[in-house]
Amino acid sequence: IGSTAFVEKDVQTRKYNVDKAAAYLNVDIAVSGNKFIAGASPALADMLVDAVEEVVAFGRQKDDGPPNIPISVQDVGPLGGGFDVAPFLNHIGIASADFGFRWPDGSFPVCHSVYDSNYWIDTFVDPVGPGTTRYLKALTRIWGLIAMRLATAPVLPMDVNQLAQSVDSYARQVQDAINIRGLNVSLVALVGAIAALDDEAAAFTRALAADTNGTLRINRILAACEQQFLVATGLPSRKWYKNTLVASALDTGYTAEVFPGIMEEVKALRVDTARQQVDVATAAVKRLTTLLKDEPAKTPATNDDMRQKKVGGHVCHITYGTCALMCAVGRTHVQDGFHEAVTLGVWCVSRCIFPSWCASQCCCSAP
């Protein structure tokens, strides 16, 4: 309830502009077992896997981490429900990730009980030795590394190719559901739109590799990708859920449903509504394709793209990600829907949610 109320209120008051965030990172349960389980918006999957691999390597050097955390992009599935991701991903379309160490079958056998204790961790989760906390250390490092990369990378580490591939995979799951039920629902238009998206995502990635400027504009595009799947009217049976790409499953709550508008109508055998939802999903895919057509090399870089701001005699060289994610951007100027962060210096030091970091990295410690 807390996260939902926070998001809903902010959409009305615009105090923090959370719907302009690039990503939301969630850790609902840090350690309840020794198997790493992750779910994420497709554009974040590659970055998450890279972070895990680097943390494992670092743990080996320090001899204080898990021996291995086997994970690939294919292991990072879509996000379901039942935790704080819901308002960010399902209601306002912020790319999200959730991860943690769980029991091998994904359960939490001592959840909400007196047995959720240090004894449980030391005896069943990490029996190498009492108090080693290897998995807690690893989880904290993974979370911290992902957050810092999102905040400080000149270009947001989001993979539009992976997003396009996942959209195609989700459509195949919908087709399987239609075939099983023998319904007369065609996905031809949706499949065609996804093919165009795949081509445009590849073109965008190629242009991005060749473009050393235009950072601010590129990040606007990357951060807005997930929101292209939002529809104001919501899903047919759940108006609050506005993301047409993924939602928690209607009949389970915790698991994910891909293309939920179509899937729910197919499972309920409502053919006419299912066809309407195919049109809705097709339009969403086309919006994303149109967004990506503004390839990085098509627009000359501006001074804002280089993020150079003179504050108190100092020139601050900062990235869009730094300002948007590390600062509490409640009352900055806004340009094209993203924070321009022109009020740096004293404002940044006094208002930033990470004042020490912001003072040293974002504002050049200007006196």
Question: How far apart, in whole angstroms, are the C-alpha atoms of residue 196 and residue 194?
Answer: 5
Q: What is the largest CA-CA distance in the chain?
A: 70
The CB density around residue 185, as the number of other CB atoms within 10 Å, is 21
* Cβ-based neighbours of 11, under 8 Å, separated by 6 or more: 18, 19, 92
pLDDT at 338 over 80: no
The span from the CA of 129 to the CA of 101, in Å, is 18
Start-end of H helices in the chain: 2-13, 42-62, 85-86, 118-120, 134-152, 160-181, 188-210, 215-224, 260-267, 271-292, 303-306, 320-326, 346-351, 355-357
Place of tokens 């989880």: 139
Strand order from edge to edge, sheet including 24-26: 24-26, 96-102, 35-40
The pLDDT tens digits for 123-145 are 888 877 666 688 889 999 999 99
**In the 8-state DSSP scheme, what is residue 67?**
S
71-126 pLDDT, tens digit per residue, is 999 999 999 988 899 999 999 999 999 999 988 777 788 888 998 888 888 888 88
The more confident residue out of 253 and 20 is 20
CA–CA distance, 16 with 276 (Å, rounded to integer): 35
User: Count of alpha carbons within 13 Å of 200, Cβ hemisphere only?
Assistant: 21
Distance CA 162, CA 44 (A): 9
Residue 326 has pLDDT above 80, yes or no: no
Q: pLDDT at position 362, please?
A: 41
Place of tokens 């506005």: 242
Q: Indicate the burial class of 6 (C-beta count within 10 angstroms; 0-12, 13-18, 19 or more).
A: middle
Closest CA to 243 of 299, 176, 170: 170
Whole-number Cα distances in Å, 50 to 46, 195, 315: 6, 27, 33
Give mean pLDDT, residues 215-225.
91
Model's pTM, two decimal places? Answer: 0.80
DSSP 8-state symbol, 330: S
Torsion of CA 68, 46, 93, 228, to 10 degrees: -160
pLDDT tens column, 312-324: 333 333 333 333 3
pLDDT, average across residues 251-266: 93
- Residue 84, CA atoms < 13 Å, CB-side half-sphere: 13
pLDDT tens across 56-76, in order? Answer: 999 888 888 887 888 999 999
- Residues 150, 223: contact at Cβ < 8 Å? no
Place of tokens 């409502």: 270
CA–CA–CA angle 288, 176, 169 (5° rounding): 35
Residue 357 has pLDDT above 60, yes or no: no
How confident is the model at residue 322, as a pLDDT? Answer: 35
Q: What is the mean pLDDT of residues 147-160?
A: 94
